[in-house]
Amino acid sequence: MSDNTPKSLQELSTEDVLTAMKSDLYEGNVNELTEEVRECLRRGMTAYDTMTRGLIAGMGIVGEDFSDGILFVPEVLMSARAMKGGMEILRPLLAETDSPKVGKAVIGTVKGDIHDIGKNLVGMMWEGAGIEVINLGNNIDADTFVAALEEHQANILGMSALLTTTMPYMKTVIDMLKSRGLREQTIVLVGGAPLNATFAENIGADAYCSDASVVIEIAKNLLAIKRGEAA
Ligand code: B1M
């Protein structure tokens, strides 16, 4: 006779814990999801792997079903809330660093756009790499981006857009940087699911960042070039 008693998390294989995490992200079960995140860390998985193999992979499934009309905004909001719960646990680990501060970045999601999960992950990755981050939040207009760069004397601007309707606003921000004489001294990096390298080039950004795995290297390479060092 088979034993149908549900297994505790500790009894599951790591792959099954990750599957449970994706499923709880999908269902918006924040308490279960945070336990699964903790269990992965307890097993020695890195914060980065837990984030990419669990949380980001889970959000990919949510995105597909949102596109296909299987999930709607209220359900996706529940998933986003669960994702944030998981990220809060990972945040201190991703941001943990002994490295000296190598740069200062202002980051935000552009005007008209409230998607902030990817942008927040990028901010955490940078913090962990010794880049000080001023996270402005979402729905940020050009004046606010420029004022923050000036106030904090930041040398990197990171902009995120998840909607095809909001991505053109990145050019508005870059044009304002130019008109204020700040473009040359600022490294402008852009990212978000609908963007690509051609778009980044066309609007005059320094680089397109496809995902959180590349943001540190791209920022550090461009900082080195600005300092006149070989990248
Ligand atoms: Co929205 N949404 N959404 N949504 N949502 C998308 C983006 C969409 C693709 C879903 C779909 O239909 N398939 C679609 C856009 C279609 C389009 O424009 N072509 C869409 C839509 C249509 C909408 C609404 C219009 C829906 C409506 O109201 N009818 C509405 C718009 C609201 C607004 O912004 N004005 C809306 C609302 C929402 C929620 C509020 C419910 C929620 C957001 C919650 C939140 O962020 N706090 C939400 C979500 C969660 C999504 C999906 C499902 C997931 C986005 C996400 O968090 N991904 C998304 C589907 C999808 O993307 N496949 C979708 C996980 C995250 C880790 O990935 O953000 O791509 P991502 O970030 C990556 C990279 O892109 C990169 O690194 C990150 C980490 O690897 N990156 C950067 C991102 N920003 C960067 C900045 C950088 C560098 C790299 O700077 C240097």
Q: Show me where the domains of the chain are located.
A: 11-97, 103-226
How many CB atoms within 10 Å of residue 75? Answer: 16
pLDDT tens for the 231 residues of the chain, in order: 456 666 799 999 999 999 999 999 999 999 999 999 999 999 999 999 999 999 999 999 999 999 999 999 999 999 999 999 999 999 999 887 776 788 999 999 999 999 999 999 999 889 988 999 999 999 999 999 999 999 999 999 999 999 999 999 999 999 999 999 999 999 999 999 999 999 999 999 999 999 988 999 999 999 999 888 765
Q: Which of 83, 115, 203, 220 to mutate to test the pocket of ligand 1 (most atoms within 8 A of CB)?
A: 115
Q: Is 156 in the pocket of ligand 1 (CB under 6 A)?
A: no
Token pair recorded at residue 195: 């963007």
Whether the CB of 175 sits within 6 Å of ligand 1: no
Helix/strand/coil for 130: coil
Residue 111 CB less than 6 A away from ligand 1 = no
Topology (CATH) of 103-226? Rossmann fold (3.40.50)
Q: Torsion angle of alpha carbons 124, 185, 153, 149, nearest 10°?
A: -70
pLDDT value for 1: 44
- How far does residue 163's CA lie from ligand 1's centre (Å)? 7
Mutate to test the pocket of ligand 1, among 30, 66, 218 (most ligand atoms within 8 A of CB): 66
Which of these, 151, 150, 147, 171, lies nearest to 159 by C-alpha position?
171
**Whole-number percent of the chain with pLDDT over 70:** 95
Query: Is the beta carbon of 212 within 6 A of some atom in ligand 1?
Result: yes
Ligand 1 geometric centre to CA of 184 (Å): 30
Amino acid at 90: L
Residue 67 CB less than 6 A away from ligand 1: yes
Residues 144, 116: contact at Cβ < 8 Å? Answer: no
Q: Residue 92: name the closest of 128, 121, 50, 118 by CA.
A: 128
Q: Is the CB of 115 under 6 A from ligand 1?
A: yes
136: three-class secondary structure by DSSP: strand
Distances (CA, A) of 51 to 57, 85, 88: 8, 12, 11
Retrieve residue 165's tokens.
């309707």
Distance 63 CA to ligand 1 centre (A): 8
Helix (H, G, I), strand (E, B) or coil at 217: helix
Find the largest Cα–Cα distance for the chain.
Answer: 75
Name the class of domain 11-97: mainly alpha
List, for residues 90-111, the tens digit of each pLDDT value: 999 988 777 678 899 999 999 9
Q: State residue 135's pLDDT score.
A: 97
Nearest CA residue ID for atom 51, ligand 1: 63
**What pLDDT score does 229 carry?**
79
Nearest residue (by CA) to ligand 1, atom 70, is 193
Domains 11-97 and 103-226 share a fold: no
pLDDT in tens, 193-227: 999 999 999 999 999 999 988 999 999 999 999 88
